[in-house]
């Protein structure tokens, strides 16, 4: 870091090199460049932190919880419709069924 005397020497040299008309414009451009560099650095650091967080906890956003299967003995998880009240599908005797293991 520059000491106050070093800063004064740099200021005097800049004044001599660029003149009193150009020095404010140069300082403004230098300030804009410093803000841009600082903004880019902050964006880069935030992106690196986000990537590090994602690497530490993989698949946090990809996981979809799946409910466990319902247990038939548990009345809270069974359907309100009793299986005995649902009529069975009618059996059509006109369609012959192929014996098991037979293929065309």
Global confidence as pTM? 0.43
Structure-token pair, residue 41: 């650095």
For residue 47, give its domain range: 20-58
* Run means of pLDDT, 10 residues per run, the chain, 104 residues: 90 90 92 97 95 76 61 57 54 57 54
DSSP character string of 85-103: GSPPPPP-TTSPPPPTT--
Token readout for 4 is 């106050």
Residue 87 counted as domain residue:
no
The number of domains in the chain is 1
* Position 68 in a domain: no
* Residue 66 is assigned to a structural domain of this protein: no
């Amino acid at each position: 870091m520059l000491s106050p005397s070093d800063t004064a020497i740099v200021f005097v040299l800049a004044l001599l090199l660029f003149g009193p008309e150009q020095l404010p414009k140069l300082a403004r451009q230098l300030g804009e460049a410093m803000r841009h560099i600082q903004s880019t650095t902050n964006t880069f650091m935030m992106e690196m932190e986000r990537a590090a967080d994602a690497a530490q906890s993989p698949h946090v956003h990809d996981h979809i919880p799946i409910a466990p299967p319902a247990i038939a003995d548990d009345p809270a998880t069974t359907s309100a419709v009793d299986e005995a009240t649902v009529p069975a599908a009618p059996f059509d005797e006109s369609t012959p069924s192929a014996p098991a293991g037979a293929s065309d």
